[in-house]
Structure 1
């Protein structure tokens, strides 16, 4: 089988959509090595996790300088014609879009991660909402199959785009396989020293943006008595406006000496940072899936996240769920886990069991089943 991908974010995006793209391609190449995989991108990079071109991996870039300089136009209007020479059976747009001009003989698949811009338009400017709506609706309409990364995303596609539910297949994600293994004590201590981590801490990993709702976590910690309150470690970055608000909330709660900002950290250090945490808190308002939840569960770290959206799909029955924005409810949940070692142990063990449903071999199989269902 010849399978092509829109690989711009595979090569050039360091966070969520890029991670999804790299993981998807890696899993298919690992578990189904007999196929040929074609990666179409305006330019390449040497980012960690990139497959090198070889017998069954082919990288395609624009043949003319104008294609590289006008990358958005190339991806949308010229890429489709460039796939002709590769005789693709499947073209998969990994992040909301598929190009125009793909051969009629090529089956078209698009992954839709979320429609947050329609579910929470107040978080976006009007022009972005209009552009995303037009582009994503068009890609969904022109595809043969839509992959939704959660049941929540499937419901949103039906509600907002009026898509036929039979055209939508839910294929869950996995996280990077580095989270599957336990980190040795010596490596943990090296990571602790490198990042100056305290002996006990609550962890948040993700972008620092308004919809991630980290300010609620700051205020919730302020409700916990100081003598029983662990440090907070924040992994991620955000824009200046939201970072200013976070700093103001930290000052308001007198937590200046109790918050560690790590920014972006090397991927190889993340499993150790998760595994040493007493608790992972993910207070987001809305997500397409929530990969950090899965990373924490594989790390055997107790998780508190939000009610609604897709969070229970990712977290399962043994996380704690609180109403987004409810400071007191989140504070009480944090205190409950920190004060009850038996509860924390159950959350670790049962959470890990739930995470195994998202192991990469099952994810790869589910994705390949979608592809093969489209072929004669």
Structure 2
């Protein structure tokens, strides 16, 4: 079987947890079967993401050109995408689209898409009108056209069933994975004080402003000795967020922005506590990453964190400074109440869905 994997939507250093997931797809999917060929479709901007040892078809388009054709394809459903003949030449039996949008969408072979969330339906206020229109055109079409949907959580699956007329059997729930591999310190960053760590892209729903307000309260009242360390992709919205950091608090906050994942792991490793004040998540990889490094993680009160097994004691209202403080100083050992999948198990389950869908 020849399995095509479209990574044409991948924008390096701009997509947060999806990039972590995509890396696991690239590394582990080819190991699932020696009898199949995995062909990764990339563009000129993300070619480096896939190892030279893998089968790769590079579309000679920049990220901007790829985005242009994505828009054209969304607006013109009958558009003949110039990528289509390239894919047909590879005699693909089935396509995997790991990031919920199918690009190109006009390939007439069985297809599986991975859906992380449908946040744009729940939080329209965080999206520009053109983004909402684009997502509706692209995501809705993909959800109905594909043969199988892999939802990364039961929460996402339930959201899809509530908002779209779908056969429940079309959706398979497969959680992201957990890595228990030994930690290898590489490219460490210099941190010599106790700190709270928040790894997240600067999207509006990630709750940075609420965290800044509560952290400032705790520091001014000398409740905690910690600094607040941040990392993650930074977009235009970040300039608005950091305006809410008061001058007397700035010295206690360090933002590394987007950094190499080895440095992210080091920051997890040295953190006293990890926080996740998000308003919405389809999954929440920082939960499993914190567990990998035996760290307590304090999360918002969301159903997805119940699904992952985060103890109620460590789900708080981040706008309530006392709740946050009690969770930070708690000496109750942190342990997930549900056993996570390994990345190997997660990707193997995805492979099995691909194989079953191709038959």
| Structure 1 residue 92, shift from structure 2 partner | 0.8
1:34-64 CA-to-partner distances (Å, cap 9, x unmatched) read 32111122325464x5222x4xx3212347x
Please tell me whether residue 93 in structure 1 is matched to residue 101 in structure 2: no
Instruction: Decide whether the 8 Å contact of 2:196 with 2:227 is kept in 1.
Output: yes
Which of 317, 329, 338 is the aligned partner of 1:339? 329
Among candidates 97, 119, 140, match of residue 122 of structure 2: 119
Equivalent residue, structure 2, for 1:371: 354
SS, match of residue 204 in structure 1 = strand
Asked if 2 retains the 8 angstrom alpha-carbon contact of 1:208 and 1:243, the reply is no
Aligned to 1:38: 39
Once the two structures are TM-superposed, the CA of residue 287 in structure 1 deviates from its matched residue by 1.4
CA contact (8 A) 2:152 2:176 kept: yes
Kindly tell me: are residues 2 and 237 of structure 1, through their superposed partners in 2, closer, same or farther at Cα, counting changes over 3 Å?
A: closer
Q: Equivalent residue for 2:141?
A: 138
The equivalent position to 2:83 in structure 1, one of 79, 83, 91, is 79
Q: Is the 8 A contact 1:117 1:124 kept in 2?
A: yes
CA distance in 2, matches of 1:71, 1:211: 24
1:8 matched to which residue of 2? 8
Matched with 2:78 is none
Whose relative contact order is higher, 1 or 2, with alpha carbons under 8 Å and at least 6 apart? 2
Does the alignment pair 1:174 with 2:177? yes
Cα distance in structure 1, aligned partners of 2:314 and 2:134 = 36
Deviation at 1:275, TM superposition (A): 1.4
Kindly tell me: are residues 46 and 249 of structure 1, through their superposed partners in 2, closer, same or farther at Cα, counting changes over 3 Å? same
CA change 1:15–1:8 in 2 (3 A) is same
Q: Give runs of aligned pairs for residues 239-258 of structure 1, distance below 5 A.
A: 239-251=235-247, 254-258=248-252
Q: Please say if 1:327 is aligned against 2:332.
A: no
TM-fit CA distance, 1:174: 2.1
SS in 2 for 1:263: coil
Q: Please, what TM-score do these two structures have when normalized by structure 2?
A: 0.86
Q: Which residue of 2 aligns with 1:304?
A: 298
- The question of whether the paired residues in 2 share the 8 Å contact of 1:280 and 1:302 is answered with yes
Structure with greater helix percent: 1
In structure 1, the partner of 2:217 is 223
TM-score, normalisation: structure 1:
0.82
Structure 2 portions without partners, runs of 5+ = 74-80
In structure 1, runs of 5+ residues without a counterpart are none
Correspondence 1:203 to 2:197: yes
1:309 deviates by: 4.7
Classify 1:288/1:227 alpha carbon distance in 2 versus 1 (closer, same or farther; 3 Å). closer
CA drift of 1:207 comes to 0.9
- Deviation sequence 1:20-45 (CA, Å, 0-9, x none): 22222321113334321111223254
Query: How far apart, in 1, do the equivalents of 2:45 and 2:233 lie?
Result: 24
Are residues 170 and 241 of structure 1, via their aligned partners in 2, closer, same or farther at CA, if it must alter by over 3 Å?
Answer: closer
